[in-house]
Each structure stands twice: as C-alpha cells, then as structure tokens.
Structure 1
Amino acid sequence: MTTFMAPPPAATFLAFHPQDNNIIAIGMEDSTIQIYNVRVDEVKSKLKGHQKKITGLAFSQSMNVLVSSGADAQLCVWSIDGWEKKKSKYIQPPANRSGALVGDTRVQFHNDQTHLLVVHESQLAIYDGNLECSRSWYPRDALPAPVSSAIYSCDGLLVYAGFCDGAIGVFEAESLRLRCRIALSAYVPPSISSGASVYPMVVAAHPLEPNQIAVGMSDGAVHVVEPLDADPKWGVAPPQDNGAHPSMSSAPAASNNQTSDQPTR
C-alpha cells in the first residue's frame, strides 16, 4: 500500500530581515509566516494571524517591526525581537462597497520607515506604524478600474499605481493627490493596446531615477516608462496645503493637465 501525502504549502512572499540577511520572512499559502534562518537551515518561528494566504511583507528597521498583509485584506504588525503580534486590522472598504474586503493586499514602507503604503484592488492607503489610516484614495473618475499594483518612487515623493484597464496613475505620496494619468496607448504599441486587454500586473520603481518605472504586463511584456525630455516630471505638483489634514482623505481626482494622458517615451 502506498501513502500519498499532501504537498507542503507554497511560499507566496519573501522579505529579508533588515539587520541579518541570513533571516528571511516567508509568507505561505496556508496563511502562516515562517521566520527562516538560512545559515542553520531552520525555521525559528511560525507566525499565525491571517486567514488567507500571505500577499505582502515589509520590515521597518526604525520601528523594529514586520508588517504582513494577506488575501484576507488584513494587516498584522509583528515585533522583530520576539516575533509576537502587536496589532492587527482589516482595511476598510470604500463607502460604496458593502461587506468585508478580500483579495491580495500589498504593503511597502516609505523611505522614512514609518509610513506604510497599502495596496488593494479597491484602494490605495497610507497607514502609520499603529495601523491608523491617514490617507486613502479609491478608483473613480479618470481612473475607475481596480488597482493592480502600486509602489513608492525611489525618493518617496510619488506613488505609481497600475490599473486593470491598462492605465497608470502618478500620485503625490503624502496626499495621494493624482498628478497625472498615463493611458495604455501612451506606452504600449497601438497594435497591442487596441487588441486584447493588457494591464500592468506589477510596477517597479527605478532605484535612482524617481520619474522612471518599469511595468510588467499581463501579456508577459515589460515596458520602461518615463516622461518626455521636454517635460522631465510627471504632471504638475499640487499646491501646498497649509491646513491640518483630516484623518482620512479621498480628495477628488485632479483636473485639467493633472489628469491628462501625458506622453511618454
């Protein structure tokens, strides 16, 4: 008689410890996070708190924490010292969407190591280390399609977001105000953009050029996108706001040239 065992759960996300590159946080398909020491080939801790697969991990060295996100739309904060869970919170659905959110949720710390970009198909949001949301933006107006991916620029001043209709939005990182919209036809040849539906599945920021990104497309292509030489920056920066910010903001999408389809090269 032969006994067949179920295969082990697959790894769904990896993040290296900021102080020891022998330690890796591994998000698993079974909703756990394994803290693995490469040097001794041993799982040091197994973190449990999510209900669905892990879809994002981000370390903050200054706060000494690991933040995880899952397909359950939940955020968890773990202490790096003892790997105990400090806090957890489910991201809030938009006002026009009822019921709890589900679906892949990504996280990335800002360069300041305290502000956290949270990305879900329903929203972009900025959280602090206590998982309090200070800014949020929901697809609408010039960018109505679900969010597919988003990332901070290398200088932390912009957020680039891909959408399921192929568009790319460029946002101010602090306020999540839309600076410009990049249409699919601006960076994909007409023979492709007018045919089957393609969209950015992942956005990567250039490590040195804050106005340049690479987008990995659903058809397997990769495009490098940047403004034209005549206009070296994306859109127009919004006016400075001297007043106090509300705890959450869903400011109207920018207008005029800020949402125009800016040409790229």
Structure 2
Amino acid sequence: MTTFMPPPPAATFLAFHPQDNNIIAIGMDDSSIQIYNVRVDEVKTKLKGHQKRITGLAFSHVLNVLVSSGADSQLCVWSTDGWERQASKFLQMPNGRAPAPLADTRVQFHLDQTHLLAVHETQIAIYEAPKLECLKQFVPREASGPITHATYSCDSQSIYVSFEDGSVGVLTASTLRLRCRINQTAYLHPNPSLRVYPLVIAAHPSESNQFALGLTDGGVHVLEPLESEGRWGSPPPTENGAGPSTPSGASVSEQPQSAFIPFARGSCGTCAYKLG
C-alpha cells in the first residue's frame, strides 16, 4: 500500500576544509564520505572507497588532500581539487594480532602536514602522504590491552597513547620509541570494583607536555610532569648528533616493563587535575 523511505545513514566523523570553512567532509555509517557545502546547502560530491563506516578524516593544506580511515582498517587519500582517489592502503596488522571486528582507525597529520599518524587498537603507525608509505610502526605489548586513543602533542614532537589497562605511553614522534609509561595509579585511586580507563586523549594547544584524558566513568583528568621533571621521560641518547631511527616499514615493540620509567604519584612525579 505504501513505501517507507529508509532513514539516512548516520554521520560518524566530520572535518572542515582548512581553506574554506563552508566545505565539510562528512564520514558516514554506510562507508561513504559526503563533501557538503554549507553555503548552498548541498552535497557537492560523494566519495566511495571504504567497505565499512568512516572513523577518521584529516585534511592536509600543504598536499591538498583529504585522508580518510574506516572500520575496514583502510586508509584512502583523496585530492581536494577534483576529489579523485589518489591512493589507498590497508593497515599492516602485527603478527598474531587479530583486531576486533569494525575496530576504529583514526588519522591525524603532523605539523609538517606530510606525515600521517594512524591509530588502531593494535598499533600506532606513521605514514608519508600522499603515497601512504608506512615509515614506522609501534606495537604495544599484549598485557597493556588494546590502544584506545592517541594524539600528537601540540608541537608534534611526542605522541600520547592510552591503553585499555589504564596506562598512558609517551612516544617520541620521530622514532616511535617509548619514553615513559604513566601508570593508572598516577591519576586514579585504585578501585578493584571499577574498571576505568581512558577513551580519548586531547593535547593542550600550546603546552606540549600537558594533555587531558577522557575516562570511561565520565571523568576528565589533565596531566603534566612535575616542574622538577620538566618533560615526560628522557629522550634516547643521540649518536653523532642524530637520534635513533627505524628502517622504513620496520616495527617497534614495547620494551619489557622494567625498561619503562614508571610515573606514579609520589615517585617520579605526575601532576593530575580532575575536572568536574
């Protein structure tokens, strides 16, 4: 007797064009990306290349590209001139690591607008756009649990990574070497009956050593090292004036727990402020 139109797919991610704030890239639950013009209230084009919902979008105003990531563990590069797809690549899954179905993949450009941070529950990876060459990969130890989120510091010199066990790692962005691990006890009181861990990290826009954690219990904590420490951990020793590097495509795994610098309240020092 009648036909009911299905509801439109949900929007799962948004990103504003860096040079025209009337243009918005909208990632959709049906795996498409809509390029929407606010001024004329019109979808100018629809990008199709993923098989699962869109979980991340990032523009580079230097390369004039949009990079998308999806729950299919795929990265795609789109030209912002004509919106053609320039490259696509699936994440290199670590040996023996089977990701959860439909796990999110997030993307963020370095300040140089060329190097791309890809965040997945199994890994942190650095790609060079627009060809999506994988330069480095960091694989957490299994005891940490999956990666829940990661972000560049405001100066792109560090990467803050949160894990399902409640800990936070600070990586040197250029090498993906783990400088220190912040234990959960540094910012939370132990409570065996509650399983609380960070879901999202936000870096301070001007303080490179300060970041905020959004927790599963609704709390928000802002962390920074003590003034006597000055920064998170210590950089690896340099050799002939140059820091260590990882060969292209190589993987960096976490070192044993004894090699970490354990930041905990009352020992090496972590300042934590709870909001709300």
Alpha-carbon offset, residue 11 of structure 1: 0.4
Whole-Å separation in 2 of the counterparts to 1:99 and 1:140: 14
Pick closer, same or farther for the CA change 1:258–1:97 going to 2, 3 Å. closer
Whole-Å separation in 2 of the counterparts to 1:231 and 1:29: 44
CA contact (8 A) 2:99 2:121 kept: no
In the other structure, the counterpart of 1:88 is 88
Worse overlay, 105-114 or 252-261: 252-261
In the other structure, the counterpart of 1:219 is 217
CA contact (8 A) 1:178 1:259 kept: no
Alpha-carbon offset, residue 52 of structure 1: 0.3
Equivalent AA in structure 2 for residue 259 of structure 1: I
Equivalent AA in structure 2 for residue 198 of structure 1: V
3-state SS in 1 of match to 2:262: coil
Equivalent AA in structure 1 for residue 9 of structure 2: P
TM-score, normalised relative to structure 2: 0.89
Q: Tell me, which stretches of 5 or more residues in structure 2 are unaligned? A: 272-276
> What does residue range 75-114 of structure 1 map to in structure 2 within 5 Å?
75-97=75-97, 102-114=102-114
In the other structure, the counterpart of 1:248 is 249
Q: Aligned residue pairs: how many?
A: 262
3-state SS in 1 of match to 2:185: helix
Pick closer, same or farther for the CA change 1:8–1:71 going to 2, 3 Å. same
In the other structure, the counterpart of 1:16 is 16
Whole-Å separation in 2 of the counterparts to 1:54 and 1:101: 14
Equivalent AA in structure 2 for residue 260 of structure 1: P
Pick closer, same or farther for the CA change 1:224–1:98 going to 2, 3 Å. closer
Identify, as 1 or 2, the structure richer in strand. Answer: 2
- Residue 154 of structure 2 corresponds to residue 154 of structure 1: yes
Alpha-carbon offset, residue 259 of structure 1: 3.3
Cα deviation 1:83-140 (Å, max 9, x = unaligned): 0101100001102236998511000000000000000000000000111110001111
Worse overlay, 212-221 or 76-85: 212-221
3-state SS in 2 of match to 1:185: helix
Whole-Å separation in 2 of the counterparts to 1:99 and 1:34: 27
> What does residue range 130-209 of structure 1 map to in structure 2 within 5 Å?
130-140=131-141, 144-191=144-191, 194-209=192-207
In the other structure, the counterpart of 1:261 is 263
